[in-house]
Amino acid sequence: MNSLGDSAELKILQGVHGHDKAYHLPCTNAKAVVVFYPGDQLQDRSLPAEVLRLQDPHNQARIMAKKFPGATIYVVMPSRLEAGCACFDHFLNKTTQTGEPLGYQGSSFKACSQLWSLLKHAGSWKEGANQPIIHLVGFSKGGVVLNQVLSELACFADLAAAGGSPSSAQQAPQGASPAVSATTEAQLPQPMSAFLQAIAQLHFLDVGLNSRGAYMTDARVIASLGRQVQQPRLQIFLHGTPRQWDDARRPWIPQEKNMFVRLLDSSGVLVVEHKYFKGQEPSLLMHFEVIDAMRVDL
């Protein structure tokens, strides 16, 4: 089990697209790995103490350990900071200077190959039996990584459909999503196929951007996921607050969220919505407090 009183250990992990900093809270005999992607890093020390506490990756790791008992936790920091703006260059194909996504391209498998290699380097993913399932949490701007992952899962599903039946040599871990199936080794390394099959839950935690792209709205991507969904199912959780979902200055955020939900529902992909702090005035504090308030149940 996790030792929740312990501080997460800062690691520099090698990935196929570059080195990333990650705060690691290990768990003995873990059956799951939770990867938390934070958002922009606020640098104003005059901010409320609670905001600073909840932005601290050590605390984020401890909170995730409470939400997901029995899981190893990683808080994977942005690959680059631009005046505090989170830039996940090692996971996205192309971004602006301040990290806003310039589209999502699943055929690159950039996000999943980077995460796969990071977890291999950390010793939390080994080829063979008894592999853990993977839960991904994208907070605020960190949700862009989850959108890229969805694009890659959809591309993998298309490859599987074109390549024939799933390989019996690599079975998905129990509880994982079959929204992706094994494909041929020529198309994708077989060990990474098993990793893609292990992705079970995606949690969009009060995500939002100052541009479009906070939620996946490509109908082709969601349709590809839906065609491959069987049991057990890929689970997508949307967690929001008035700070993002009721922001009149950025109406595209709720518009994209609502379109995302409609596409998922129509394609048969399981989606669960949780809204927190209903009726309260939007605030920066609630945006961070949702990390503590986050529910992981259906």
Domain with 40 in it: what CATH number? 3.40.50.1820
Tokens 């901010």, residue? 47
Range 51-64 average pLDDT: 96
pLDDT of residue 181: 40
Is 2 part of any domain? no
**Would you say residue 173 lies in a domain?**
yes
Asked if the structure places residue 1 within a domain, the reply is no
148 vs 27: CA distance, rounded Å = 27
Q: Kindly report the average pLDDT of the chain as a whole number.
A: 88
Say what percent of the chain tops pLDDT 90.
72
Confidence of residue 186 (pLDDT cuts 50, 70, 90): very low
Mean pLDDT over 167-179 rounds to: 50
Q: Is the pLDDT of residue 56 over 60?
A: yes
Start-to-end Cα distance in the chain: 23
User: pTM for this one?
Assistant: 0.91
Cα distance between residue 194 and residue 181, in whole Å: 8
Residue 270 has pLDDT above 50, yes or no: yes
pLDDT-wise least confident of 73-82, 144-153, 174-183, 239-248:
174-183
Structural domain count, the chain: 1
Confidence bin at 292 (pLDDT 50/70/90) = very high
Q: Which residue has the tokens 């409320």?
A: 48
> pLDDT, tens digit, for every residue of 71-123?
999 999 999 999 999 999 999 999 999 999 999 999 999 999 999 999 999 99
* Overall average pLDDT of the 257-281 stretch: 95
Residue 265 pLDDT grade (very low, low, confident, very high; cuts 50, 70, 90): very high
Residues 245-263, mean pLDDT to the nearest whole number:
95
Question: Is 37 within the bounds of a domain?
Answer: yes
Domain residue limits at 275? 9-293
Of 10-19, 74-83, 176-185, 226-235, the poorest mean pLDDT is in 176-185
Q: Given pLDDT bands bounded at 50, 70 and 90, which one contains residue 180?
A: very low
Residue 160 has what pLDDT? 80
The CA distance from 128 to 54, in Å, is 36
Work out the average pLDDT over 18-24: 97
Q: What is the arithmetic mean of pLDDT over 172-193?
A: 55
Give me the pLDDT at residue 228, please. 65
